[in-house]
Amino acid sequence: MQRFTQLFQQVDATTSTNGKIRALQAYFQAEEAQNAVWALYLLLGKTRKRLITSRILRDIFLQISDIPEWLFEDCYAQVGDTAEVIALLLPAAVPSLSTSHFPLHHWMEVIIPQVKAVKSEVALKELVISWWFSLSSVEVFVLNKVLTGAFRVGVSTKLVIKGLAATSGVSEAVLAHRLMGDFVPSIAAYTQLIQHEESARVPSQPYPFFLASSLEEDKFALETLAHWQAEWKWDGIRAQIIRRNGEVFIWSRGEDLITEQFPELAQGFLALPDSLVFDGEIVCWQDDRPLSFNHLQKRLGRKRVTQKMIQENPAHLIAYDLLEYEGLDIRETPLRDRRSLLAASLQIADPAVVTLSETMPIESLENLRSLREQARDQAAEGLMIKALDSPYLVGRKRGYWWKYKVDPMSLDAVLIYAQAGSGKRANLFTDYTFALWQGEDLVPFAKAYSGLDNKEIDELDQWIRKHTIEKFGPVRSVEPIHVFEIGFEGISQSNRHKSGISVRFPRILRWRKDKPAPEADAIAAALQLLEITYSNR
């Protein structure tokens, strides 16, 4: 536990990429496999299960300290994280804090799981207190984050893999592939992960996804356009469908196994030959066109999908790529050849279940821009642009695949509510609610927290503090004066919102200081966008 918290401090304290990699490399070189595998599990964010809520930890702390609740809340307003506030305040409340003598694997396998056997609030309180008293302040913070399922550290998956690759001598691409899918933290799993010999593949194991970067038009203008193709960029969820060992497995880009949420896809792909892996976009599909993302959302996160749900929100895969053919990894094969194999593999597929994505040649930059302008007519988000000779790589590698999205829809809206952010922005009002006019009333229609620079955030924060009308817990109602242009990727009907609409990926495009609040947009303008969107579907 001590060595892991030291690693946590080292990678969290530096912004140097090389510094983080060196710290990771040194840790994995020195640590025993039984601890290293749990460190890897935590660093990769594999632990998502919440064992105790932040509220319960807060209440336990307040019961054992002399710190009043109002002071704790003020500290939280500055820090923005309950686990960290407790770790910072605990030494003052309990001066005799120790440090753990148990290794990380013992905490993760033996000590922390004791929470599941606790039968009463009193027993839970005593258990947590006993742990806190046996740890240092930093160890308390790590423990609290693990207990609440919110452990995060300032290091990306890519850097963790780089550090492990430098230690083991196994390539980053191989490690990334081996870490995809389910990962059980055990000595056997860790030994298999870092061994140089190729091991037998788990039938359900997906490949790391290859991601596109936003198009840089100036650089792309220098390319030979005949070497590139364009596809529509659909608004669904990126997925791999694996057909191996007589079964079908469906994985999301977030490494969630979602087979049970799309039983009709799983059944449809059983009709295809074995030993194939497809990459594509899952959308809800009707009359040869995609439905809105709202339909797809009704299928996500469900443990059981009813027949009615399937009928109302029929799932479909638009296939982009083929990663495995006849059991062979073909990711290094050029895209044009992978596409040929993909088309051949789908010849016997049910077109109601899967279709091959349409590709378009790129004749000129003007032609490319024209195609992008047609995207909304196709109910698409824009274009994907791919080099015909590109391999299927790992992660985001610039120069091979580009995304060229349509300009966002936008509306001018009035700021009506503000709330403090979290973490480093806990002492600033950075989460905003915006409203549109409906007659003489302002109706909330979107929340956004990104798009302003630091100077604008500071200016708006000071204004909010001076122009608060009411307080509702952490939320402040402010004078409806300032207008902001809010951009979003899509708009749909919603019975859950007072405005009757919901928008996808809202963000602030600019602060309209030139525009008075009465001239902001009305709900009618949003409904016009909604009508255009649905007419294109």
Query: What is the per-residue pLDDT across 11-39, written as a single tens digit (0 to 9) for each?
Result: 988 889 999 999 999 999 999 999 999 99
Tell me the range of 76-85, 154-163, 278-287 where mean pLDDT is highest.
278-287
Which of 95-99, 105-109, 147-151, 241-245 shows the lowest mean pLDDT across its residues?
Answer: 95-99
Task: Tokens for 114, please give them.
Answer: 């004791």
Judge whether residue 40 has pLDDT over 90.
yes
- Give the pLDDT confidence score for residue 247 in this predicted structure: 96
- What is the CATH topology of the domain spanning 210-405? D-amino Acid Aminotransferase; Chain A, domain 1 (3.30.470)
> pLDDT by residue (tens digit) across 450-483?
999 999 999 999 999 999 999 888 899 999 999 9
Instruction: Give the pLDDT score at 497.
Output: 84
pLDDT band for position 96 (50/70/90)?
low
Could you read off the pLDDT of 338-376 as tens digits, one per residue?
999 999 999 999 999 999 999 999 999 999 999 999 998
**Side chain identity, residue 499:** S
pLDDT: is 80 or 499 the higher one?
A: 499
- SS3 per residue for 249-270: EEEECCCCECHHHCHHHHHHHC
Over 70: is that where the pLDDT of 271 sits? yes
User: In this model, does residue 391 exceed pLDDT 90?
Assistant: yes
- The token pair at 266 is 């799983």
Question: What pLDDT score was predicted for residue 474?
Answer: 84
Residue 426 has pLDDT above 90, yes or no: no
Examine the pLDDT at 423 and tell me if it is beyond 80. no
For residue 273, is pLDDT > 90?
yes
* DSSP string across 272-311: SPSSEEEEEEEEEEETTEEPPHHHHHTTTT-SS--HHHHH
Strands 315-325 vs 354-356: parallel, antiparallel or unpaired = parallel
Closest by CA to 415, choosing from 447, 380, 453, 373, is 447
First and final C-alpha spacing in the chain: 55
CATH fold of 2-147: DNA ligase i, domain 1 (1.10.3260)
Can you read off the two tokens belonging to residue 193? 């992960």
CATH architecture of 409-535: Beta Barrel (2.40)
Q: How confident is the model at residue 536 (pLDDT cuts 50, 70, 90)?
A: low
Spatial separation of the C-alpha atoms in residues 222 and 153, rounded to whole Å = 40
> Cα–Cα distance between 255 and 239 in angstroms, integer?
9
| 272-300: average pLDDT | 91
- Cβ-contact 354, 199 below 8 angstroms: no
Average pLDDT over residues 280-297: 90
Q: How far apart are CA 536 and CA 289, in angstroms?
A: 10
Contacts of 142 (CB under 8 A, 6+ apart): 1, 4, 5, 8, 151
Comma-separated ranges of CATH 2.40.50.140 domains in the chain: 409-535
Instruction: Identify the pLDDT of residue 487.
Output: 94
pLDDT at 266: 96
| Nearest Cα to Cα of residue 320 among 238, 438, 389, 265 | 238
How many CB atoms are closer than 10 A to CB 406? Answer: 16
> Angle between the 17-30 and 33-43 helix axes, to the nearest 10 degrees?
150
More confident residue, 214 or 536: 214
CA contacts within 13 A on the Cβ side of 436 = 23
Q: Cβ atoms within 10 A of the Cβ of 188, count? A: 10
| CA pair distance 243, 249, nearest whole angstrom | 7
Sign of CA dihedral 428, 432, 437, 440: negative
For range 37-48, the mean pLDDT: 87
Cα–Cα distance between 480 and 363 in angstroms, integer? Answer: 49
Nearest to 43 by CA among 171, 186, 167, 185: 185
Domain ranges in the chain with CATH number 3.30.470.30: 210-405
pLDDT at 364: 93
- Please, where in the chain does CATH 1.10.3260.10 lie? 2-147
Average pLDDT score over residue span 130-136: 91
Radius of gyration, CA atoms only, the chain: 26
CA torsion angle for 169, 170, 171, 173 (degrees, to 10)?
-160
Res 528 pLDDT > 80: yes
The pLDDT of residue 95: 63
Give the residue carrying structure tokens 């929340």: 447
Residue 446: is its pLDDT beyond 90? yes
